[in-house]
Amino acid sequence: MHGYTLQELESFYDLLDGMVTEVAERELKLPVYDMIQRLFEAADRGERDEGRLRRAILRSFVAPDAVQLTSEFSQRYGQSAIQRRDDSKEAA
């Protein structure tokens, strides 16, 4: 079991609230249960960045080309390179 602060839980709720609306508007077939599970899987690994949590929730709805490129990049350069790349994008 992981402990979360009240602030973290409130931010998770706000994120999920917006994501439920977005998923419904986009007519994606993603049950709320799965959204919650994906959010907390990422949070349990320590993720708190809203953009990354959103991507974790929508992971199966990413363009296949983007998933393939990320997979190839990871195999070639390792997961830490993807992390550095993501961090540098956020800093910009």
Q: pLDDT tens across 28-62, in order? A: 888 999 999 999 999 999 999 998 999 999 887 65
Task: Report pTM.
Answer: 0.63
The answer on pLDDT for 3 being more than 80 is yes
Domain regions of the chain by residue span: 1-61, 63-92
Q: From CA 7, how far away is CA 15, in angstroms rounded? A: 12
Is the pLDDT at 7 greater than 90? The verdict is: yes
Residue 19: partners with Cβ closer than 8 Å, 6 or more residues away = 35, 54, 57, 58
Q: Is the pLDDT of residue 80 over 60?
A: no
Per-residue pLDDT, averaged over 66-76, amounts to 48
